[in-house]
Amino acid sequence: MVKTFKYIILGGGVAAGYAAREFAKQGLKPGELAIISKEAVAPYERTVLSKSYLHPEFPCRLPTFYVYAGPRREILFPEWYSEKGIELILSTEIVKADLAAKSLTSAGGETFSYQILLIATGSTVIRLSNLGVQGADAKNIFYFREIDDADKLYEAIKAKKNGKAVVVGGEHIGMELSAMLRCNNLDVTMVYPEPWCMSRLFTSDIAAFNEGYYAKKGVNIMKRTVVVGFTANSDGEVKEVKLKDGRVLEADIVVVGDGIRPQTALFKGQVEEEKGGIKTDGFFKTSVPNVYAVGDVATFPVKLYNELRRVEYAEHACQSARKAVEAIKAAEEGKTVEKYDYLPVLYSHQFGQQAWEFYGDNVGDTVLFGDSSPESSIPKFGSYWIKDGKVVGAFLQGRIEEERDAMAYVARVRPSVQNVDELAREGFSFARKIENFGLE
């Protein structure tokens, strides 16, 4: 039997929840929309998993972090979808997509047809076993992407109380998970090949603060080396981590945060791709009529920088989903909408204390300002990125709530800079001045 819907959202991450909320807002008849997800739960805020799901004293649990959307941050509980006439098709993996026939086939043999498809399949983790790393199939080697992954890691943390954990990777997820593991009183070592943490975003100065802060919290950091293998005990559980430089680390738990890749395999050869994702326009329309792509899988034109990019930020997943649905409904009604105008935003919280946010583009020269000493009792600092005489990016760490609006404004309007030394002296006050006077 074929189940038919006017709209299908393929994927159950945060983008699916925001898209459903926008469909309901724009007007939706019962039975028109279905969300198909291989996960067993309704769409939720995935970023919570690495930030507070593993907290030893106050672990965040559903239903508190189902997607919260709209101006009042309404929580979209499973019953919300039922009330809106939206069908949640969960625990269902799609194994075949025929875009020409407008049909999807599940692993269980079910067929779903649609008029309009919104691809929100997100990303999947890169597994060390697929890279040929010896012993990578040992027990207690964890990957972290979905709520099931978080549950398994949480149970391992309890089982290996006060044990040793090795985190592979020094980017966003590796940093946040290292902090959470340390909060659980594990002996934590981070391993990454780059010269400093978060190297795709952080400058060496920003990284120096964060590495120093993590060291104060008891996290060991091993840079400029990679994992080449694992050994296991008689129960098949990981026992040691072998590094390329010859060192061997004891480990009761290993967490791999070594990157993700967009889930586009279902659509290979059927839709135009670019830069590792599905190419879209400023409304997230793909090269196939009535097929849209949002979030991690979309390579879209960033209006602010006049170039195509693929972005793996949660904020983009939410905003792109809303824009795609807005465009879908406008097209049906013969109306027009503005193209997507995105300002890149990335943020993190560590140890329940330190927080940072970044806005804009991290290209060009940098200017560091403020108190960036890891020894400071109340550190607060920032950085501007300057290209062609204009501020194009802004970073802040510490008491971010005091400055976030001004820093975001500066990154969007890209004001000119006459004197770099003066900019360093002004620091946050430069952003406040630009915002207060509406300068560009």
| Statement: residue 70 has pLDDT above 80 | no
Radius of gyration of the chain (CA): 23
* Sheet with 238-243: strands ordered across: 227-232, 238-243, 248-250
Specify the pLDDT at position 439: 61
Residue-range domains of the chain with CATH: 2-124+261-333 (3.50.50.60), 128-258 (3.50.50.60), 353-438 (3.30.390.30)
- Mean pLDDT of the 284-299 span: 98
CB under 8 Å to 295, separation ≥6 — which residues?
A: 11, 13, 14, 15, 120, 122, 316, 317, 320, 321
| Statement: residue 71 has pLDDT above 90 | no
Give the model confidence (pLDDT) of 165-181 as tens digits: 999 999 999 999 999 99
Among residues 230, 269, 279, the alpha carbon closest in space to that of 253 is found at 230
Q: Are the beta carbons of 118 and 294 closer than 8 angstroms?
A: yes
Q: Using alpha carbons only, what angle is made at residue 138 by residues 133 and 141, rounded to the nearest 5 degrees?
A: 85
| Statement: residue 66 has pLDDT above 90 | yes
- Mean pLDDT of the 123-138 span: 94
Specify the pLDDT at position 170: 96
- State how far the Cα of 340 lies from the Cα of 5, in Å rounded to an integer: 26
Specify the pLDDT at position 250: 98
Among residues 275, 355, 354, 359, the alpha carbon closest in space to that of 316 is found at 359
Specify the pLDDT at position 17: 97
pLDDT band at 399 (very low <50, low <70, confident <90, very high): confident
Among residues 224, 208, 206, the alpha carbon closest in space to that of 216 is found at 208
* Backbone dihedral region for residue 270 (phi beyond 0: left; psi -120 to 50: alpha; all else: beta): alpha
- State how far the Cα of 47 lies from the Cα of 145, in Å rounded to an integer: 9
Q: Using alpha carbons only, what angle is made at residue 168 by residues 210 and 12, rounded to the nearest 5 degrees?
A: 95
Q: Using alpha carbons only, what angle is made at residue 90 by residues 84 and 93, rounded to the nearest 5 degrees?
A: 135
Specify the pLDDT at position 436: 87
Q: Are the beta carbons of 249 and 166 closer than 8 angstroms?
A: yes
Reading the block at residue 51, the tokens are 């930030």
Residue 4: phi, psi to the nearest 5? -115, 135
Comparing 81 with 130, the larger pLDDT belongs to: 81
**Percentage above 70 pLDDT, the chain:** 99
Give the model confidence (pLDDT) of 2-51 as tens digits: 999 999 999 999 999 999 999 999 999 999 999 999 999 999 999 999 99
* Backbone dihedral region for residue 25 (phi beyond 0: left; psi -120 to 50: alpha; all else: beta): alpha
Specify the pLDDT at position 126: 93
Give the model confidence (pLDDT) of 261-283 as tens digits: 999 999 999 999 999 999 999 99
- Mean pLDDT of the 86-98 span: 98
- State how far the Cα of 293 lies from the Cα of 190, in Å rounded to an integer: 35
Cα torsion angle, 369, 371, 372, 373, sign: positive
pTM as predicted: 0.95
| Statement: residue 440 has pLDDT above 60 | no
- State how far the Cα of 409 lies from the Cα of 64, in Å rounded to an integer: 31
- Mean pLDDT of the 326-350 span: 95
| Statement: residue 354 has pLDDT above 80 | no
* Backbone dihedral region for residue 244 (phi beyond 0: left; psi -120 to 50: alpha; all else: beta): alpha
| Statement: residue 418 has pLDDT above 80 | yes
| Statement: residue 72 has pLDDT above 80 | no
Which residue bears the tokens 């300057």? 386
Specify the pLDDT at position 134: 96
| 51-55, 67-71, 250-254, range with the lowest pLDDT | 67-71
Specify the pLDDT at position 356: 95
Specify the pLDDT at position 321: 98
| Statement: residue 254 has pLDDT above 70 | yes
| Pairing state between β 307-310 and 298-302 | antiparallel
Give the model confidence (pLDDT) of 184-231 as tens digits: 999 999 999 999 999 999 999 999 999 999 999 999 999 999 999 999
